[in-house]
Amino acid sequence: MSTSSRRDQLLTELRAWGGASPSVLEALATVPRERFVPPESQSRAYENIALSIDAGQTISQPRMVAEMTTACRLTPQSRVLEVGTGSGYQAAILARLCHDVVSIERIPELSHQAARRLRELGFTNVQCVVGDGSLGWPAGAPYDAILVTAGAPEIPWPLYEQLTPGGRLVVPVGAGTQSLLTITRTASGPQTETGIGCVFVPLVGQAGWPESSPPAPPKS
């Protein structure tokens, strides 16, 4: 089966699921996921599974990317912070939907690889930075949405504080199996919606898991 056929099959599956907005599905259709995975995994790029990348990290399954991106409720004017650049795939999806993206990654080699990959693919509205993503990136704040691609032990409040009024923090929280939370910043305080269960690599940092003893990463 050709790459385009595999992509079409995945999109058909995601449309049948019904949890993704039309604009998110369009972004998934136009960003080449095979460019964001190792060569040995490219034949599986359009399976609805997470795949291993460098440095013991993963690229999320397309359905989870669709779920989290839809939860952000982006507009073409939105400014977004992504925590956990990884391969750069989620940043590319976000960049198709909003004005600009800051993507922060604690592992320099991943950040540099992703930045190069995104440049090669023509993305000019993504800034890749290296740092402790659990603390956000105050230099670029405030953000209309913050999407965290790693599991936190609790809500990372430094990220919440970097949201605009009405902004949304989408983050997996918990040990082992996590719950996908969407926290909206309102005048009366945070409003939290609990979504599906999920399993992400740990969010390591001052407002996440300690680097000395993070939970074991999920098996791919």
H or E element that contains 11: helix 3-17
What SS3 state is found at 164?
strand
Q: How many CB atoms lie within 10 A of CB 216?
A: 9
Tokens of 100: 């600009």
8 A C-beta contact, residue 157 and residue 148? no
Tokens of 31: 């960003």
Contact residues for 119 (Cβ-Cβ < 8 A; gap 6+): none
Residue whose pair of structure tokens reads 């995104």 in the numeric block: 118
Q: If we measure between CA atoms, which residue out of 119, 122, 79, 83 comes closest to residue 99?
A: 79
Q: If we measure between CA atoms, which residue out of 104, 109, 101, 39 comes closest to residue 74?
A: 101
Q: If we measure between CA atoms, which residue out of 68, 12, 15 comes closest to residue 193?
A: 68
The edge-to-edge listing of strands for the beta sheet with 79-83 is: 126-130, 100-105, 79-83, 143-148, 163-173, 178-186, 189-198
- Whether 60 sits among the annotated catalytic residues: the reply is yes
From 23, 43, 52, 60, active-site residue: 60
Q: Known catalytic residues?
A: 60
